Structure 1
Amino acid sequence: MASEATTLRVGDRDVRISSPSRVLWPDLGVTKLDLARYLVEVGTPFVAANGDRPISLQRFGGDVDGDQYFSKNPPRGTPEYVRAVDVTYPSGRVHPQLVIDEPAAAVWAAQMNTLVFHPWASRAEQHDLPDQLSIDLDPQPGTSFADAVTAAVDLRAVLDEAGLTAFVKTSGNRGLHVFAPIEPTHEFLEVRHAVIAAARELERRTPDRVTTAWWKEERGDRLFVDYNQANRDRTMAGAWSPRALPRASVSLPVTWDDLPGIDPAEHTVLTVPERLQTHGDPWASMHESPGRIDTLLAWWERDVADGLGELPFPPDFPKMPGEPPRVQPSRARKPADD
Structure 2
Amino acid sequence: LQYAERLYAGCQQGYERLYADEGAVCEQLGALSHVLEGLVDVEPQLQGPVEAVKDALFGLEDAAGQLRHLADGVVFDEQRQTEVEERLAQLSTLQRKYHGEIAGILAYADEIEQELEQLRDSAATMEQLEGKISRSLEQLMALGAALSEQRQQAAKALKQAMESELEGLAMAKACFEVEFQSVEPAVLGLEKAEFYFSANPGQAPRPLASTASGGELSRIMLALRKVAPQADSLATMIFDEVDAGIGGVAASAVGERLCAVASGHQVLCITHLPQVAAYADVQYRVEKNVQNDQTSTRLVVLDDEERVQELARMLGGAQLSSQTVSHARELLQRCRRPSLF
TM-score, normalised with respect to structure 2: 0.21
Structure with bigger gyration radius: 2
Say which structure is richer in strand.
1
Normalised to the residue count of structure 1, the TM-score between the two structures is 0.21
Q: Which has the higher helix share?
A: 2
